Amino acid sequence: MLRRVLAVSAALAAALTGATGTAAWADAPTASTVATGHDVSYPQCGRDLPAVDDIAVVGVNAGTGTTTNPCLAEQLAWGDRFTDDGTLLRADVYVNTANPGHLGDWWPTADITRAGAPVTNPAGSCAGAEDAACAYVYGYSIGADDVAQRGVGDAAHRFWWLDVETMNSWSWDRKANLAAIEGMAAAIHAAGADVGIYSTPRQWDLIVGDATPSVVLAGAPSWIAGATTRAGALANCAAAPLTPGGRVRMVQWVEHGIDHDIACGVGVRGTRPVLRGSAEVGSPLTVGIGTWGPYGLAFDYVWTRDGVPIPDATDPAYTPTVDDVGTHIAVQVTGSRIGAPPLTLTSDAIAVSDPAEEQIAVNVARALRFAR
């Protein structure tokens, strides 16, 4: 699941760099990065966990929605990480969903959670039947317990995925199944967190069918499972989202017993920067960054002399000095955003000259010519 990069418009790029046109990048090749990572849960207890990457998702339960992953604290510590600037990136979490009816270890008989809290029920009024109204209360109760009783620190500041799979208990009543899922989503929303759906299109169809999600799931992102290769997972980025108005945010594939995840369309992408100005002593050089995305990237600049960083030259512009004469100047541009691997691209290098020295050479040549 996800550790959390659309295109900066040409106009915005121009505004950032002082550029006045965009034709220079019309046909420029685009480089990009991709956010990848892993999800873990109770089956990984006692095992070496994979190296933390851009995406980290931790299972809250131990197979069913009423249980707790015994390694939850350890795995959250694995998934939570700090960026170089000290920003805390919290792991996403996922929770099991179900609609077990009277076969479960608890089933509501009123619009009240297992812990005794009242539930505002958009599916009707629960009286103990295996219907949508009671399924909603069941889901809400399970979701509330996941948030408050499982030990998920900073629960409101994490992204929650609802794991919808056929291996859990479901009813033949697909509207009731959807109500249970929506109840969980509503409880997590009430705690201040956002939710998405983890499933495969086939399993989602078997469990929910053509039942129409309400506003609580409208626009929820999808995490598509089922692939066995990276290429197969990437192909799933083009799948239809599981909920109306949503999008496929992430895909999963399983290889050598490890769950791998890759974000769809959130890497940093950009075109090679272009130097502008005369490469002469005292004449400022600026950088045109071209088209980068997504919107909201932070840019860092490192100017180099013959491939070696120039001390303190980290602004969008650089004025060559006499020390640069006869060398080649270039700039490295790094675009970054929290949750995505940064992308660094380097401009072509240009040779620096000194107009004063050139003029002296011209004057000397003229003097020698007249002396003859």
CATH number at residue 202: 3.20.20.80
* Domain endpoint, select from 263, 287, 319: 263
Residues 6+ apart with CB under 8 A from 95: 59, 60, 61, 65, 142, 143, 146, 160, 161, 162, 163, 184
CATH number at residue 11: 2.60.40.2700
Asked if residue 64 and residue 105 are part of one domain, the reply reads yes
Asked if residue 245 and residue 119 are part of one domain, the reply reads yes
* Domain endpoint, select from 263, 279, 302: 263
Asked if residue 311 and residue 188 are part of one domain, the reply reads no
Task: Compute the distance between CA of residue 243 and CA of residue 241 in angstroms, rounded to an integer.
Answer: 6
Asked if residue 138 and residue 22 are part of one domain, the reply reads no
Task: Compute the distance between CA of residue 130 and CA of residue 104 in angstroms, rounded to an integer.
Answer: 11
In 10 A of CB 226, how many CB atoms? 17
Determine the pLDDT at residue 363: 52
Residues 6+ apart with CB under 8 A from 208: 164, 174, 177, 178, 181
Please provide residue 82's backbone torsions phi and psi, each rounded to the nearest 5 degrees: -110, 145
Task: Compute the distance between CA of residue 9 and CA of residue 295 in angstroms, rounded to an integer.
Answer: 8
Asked if residue 48 and residue 24 are part of one domain, the reply reads no
Asked if residue 371 and residue 300 are part of one domain, the reply reads yes
The answer to whether 223 touches 93, Cβ cutoff 8 Å, is no
Asked if residue 211 and residue 126 are part of one domain, the reply reads yes
Name the pTM for this structure.
0.70
* Domain endpoint, select from 217, 234, 263: 263
Q: Where are the beta strands (DSSP E) in 15-173?
A: 30-32, 36-40, 55-59, 81-82, 88-89, 92-96, 159-163
Residue 71 DSSP class: T
Determine the pLDDT at residue 110: 98
Residues of the domain holding 285: 4-32+268-372
Task: Compute the distance between CA of residue 101 and CA of residue 135 in angstroms, rounded to an integer.
Answer: 7
pLDDT (tens digit, 0 to 9) for every residue of the chain, 372 residues total? Answer: 333 222 322 222 333 233 322 223 334 466 767 789 999 999 999 999 999 888 999 999 999 999 999 999 999 999 999 887 788 999 999 999 999 999 999 999 999 999 999 999 999 999 999 999 999 999 999 999 999 999 999 999 999 999 999 999 999 999 999 999 999 999 999 999 999 999 999 999 999 998 888 889 999 999 999 999 999 999 998 899 999 899 999 999 999 889 999 998 766 788 899 999 988 999 999 999 888 877 678 899 999 999 999 999 999 999 999 999 999 999 999 988 765 678 899 999 999 998 765 545 445 455 556 556
Helix 174-190 and helix 132-149, axial crossing angle in degrees, nearest 10: 30
Determine the pLDDT at residue 366: 55
In the beta sheet, which residues pair with residue 51? none
Asked if residue 335 and residue 216 are part of one domain, the reply reads no
Asked if residue 152 and residue 232 are part of one domain, the reply reads yes
The answer to whether 184 touches 149, Cβ cutoff 8 Å, is no
Q: Please count the structural domains in the chain.
A: 2
Asked if residue 72 and residue 126 are part of one domain, the reply reads yes
In 10 A of CB 5, how many CB atoms? 28
**Gyration radius (Cα) of the chain, Å:** 28
Determine the pLDDT at residue 70: 98
Asked if residue 232 and residue 116 are part of one domain, the reply reads yes
- Residue 188's SS3 state is helix
Asked if residue 309 and residue 217 are part of one domain, the reply reads no
